[in-house]
Amino acid sequence: MHSKLPHVGTTIFTVMTQLAARHEAINLSQGFPDYDCPPQLVSLVNQHMQGGRNQYAPMSGVQHLREQISAKVFDLYEVDYHPDTEITVTAGGTQALFTAIGTLIRPGDEVIIFEPAYDSYAPSVEVFGGIVKAVSLQAPDFSINWNEVQSLVTEKTRLIIINTPNNPTSRVFTDADFQKLIRLTQGTNIYLLSDEVYEHIVFDGLSHRSALQYPELRERSLIVASFGKLYHITGWKVGYTLAPASLTAEFRKVHQYNVFSVNTPVQYALADFLRDKDFYLQLGEFFQQKRDYLLKGLSETLFKPLTCDGTYFLLANYSAISEMKEADFCQDLTIRYGVATIPVAAFYKEETNQQVIRICFAKKQETLEAALEKLLTVAL
Kindly write down the DSSP assignment for every residue of 307-370, as one continuous string: P--BSSEEEEE-TTT--S-HHHHHHHHHHHHSEE-EEGGGG-SS----SEEEEE--S-HHHHHH
Contacts 24+ apart (CB under 8 A), 50-56: 53/264, 53/265, 53/268, 54/264, 54/265, 55/264, 56/260, 56/261, 56/264
Task: Residue 291: name the closest of 273, 279, 309 by CA.
Answer: 309
**Predicted local confidence at residue 47, as pLDDT:** 98
Q: Where are the beta strands (DSSP E) in 122-261?
A: 131-136, 157-163, 191-195, 221-226, 239-242
Give mean pLDDT, residues 274-280.
95
Q: Are residues 24 and 44 in the same domain?
A: no
- 101-110, pLDDT tens digit by residue? 999 999 999 9
**Predicted local confidence at residue 380, as pLDDT:** 56
Per-residue pLDDT at 365 exceeds 70 = yes
Q: Are residues 149 and 54 in the same domain?
A: yes
- Structural domain contains residue 380: no
Q: How far is CA 103 from the centre of its chain?
A: 20
Q: Characterise 218 by phi-psi region: left (phi > 0), alpha (psi -120 to 50), beta (else).
A: alpha
Give mean pLDDT, residues 187-196.
97
Q: Are residues 21 and 61 in the same domain?
A: no
Per-residue pLDDT at 348 exceeds 60 = yes
- 258-271, pLDDT tens digit by residue? 999 999 999 999 99
What total number of domains does the chain contain? Answer: 2
Cis? peptide before 305, omega within 30° of 0: no
Examine the fold and report which residue of 213, 244, 276 is the final residue of a domain before the chain moves on.
Answer: 276
What is the 3 state secondary structure string of 260-286?
CCCCHHHHHHHHHHCCCHHHHHCHHHH
Determine the length of the chain: 380
Task: Residue 240: name the closest of 265, 257, 261, 220 by CA.
Answer: 261
- 155-186, pLDDT tens digit by residue? 999 999 999 999 999 999 999 999 999 999 99
* Strand, helix or coil for residue 214: coil
| Rounded Cα gap, residues 217 and 119, in angstroms | 24
Spatial contact of 374 and 26, defined as CB atoms under 8 Å apart: yes
Examine the fold and report which residue of 276, 295, 328 is the final residue of a domain before the chain moves on.
Answer: 276
Q: Are residues 180 and 136 in the same domain?
A: yes
Q: Are strands 131-136 and 110-115 parallel, antiparallel or unpaired?
A: parallel
Q: Are residues 102 and 250 in the same domain?
A: yes
At residue 283's C-alpha, the angle toward residues 200 and 39, to 5°, is 125
| Rounded Cα gap, residues 266 and 236, in angstroms | 8
pLDDT band at residue 10 under the 50/70/90 scheme: confident
The CA-based diameter of the chain, rounded to the nearest angstrom, is: 60
pLDDT band at residue 379 under the 50/70/90 scheme: confident
Q: What is the CATH number of the domain that holds 178?
A: 3.40.640.10
Task: Residue 274: name the closest of 233, 224, 332 by CA.
Answer: 233
Q: What pTM was computed for the model?
A: 0.96
Q: Are residues 262 and 313 in the same domain?
A: no
pLDDT band at residue 372 under the 50/70/90 scheme: very high
- 219-240, pLDDT tens digit by residue? 999 999 999 999 999 999 999 9
Q: What is the CATH number of the domain that holds 18?
A: 3.90.1150.10
Give mean pLDDT, residues 320-334.
96
Q: Are residues 265 and 188 in the same domain?
A: yes
| Rounded Cα gap, residues 80 and 238, in angstroms | 22
Q: Where are the beta strands (DSSP E) in 95-185?
A: 110-115, 131-136, 157-163
Give mean pLDDT, residues 246-268.
97
Return all residues near 202 (Cβ < 8 A) that are at least 6 apart. Answer: 165, 172, 208, 284, 309, 310
- Structural domain contains residue 6: no
Return all residues near 270 (Cβ < 8 A) that are at least 6 apart. Answer: 41, 65, 68, 227, 231, 238
Across 9-13, 178-182, 296-300, least confident range: 9-13
Spatial contact of 136 and 115, defined as CB atoms under 8 Å apart: yes
- 132-155, pLDDT tens digit by residue? 999 999 999 999 999 999 999 999
Range of the domain at 157: 39-276
- Structural domain contains residue 5: no
Mean pLDDT, the chain, as a whole number?
A: 96
- 44-58, pLDDT tens digit by residue? 999 999 999 999 999
Give mean pLDDT, residues 56-77.
98
Spatial contact of 239 and 226, defined as CB atoms under 8 Å apart: yes
Q: Which amino acid is at 148?
A: E
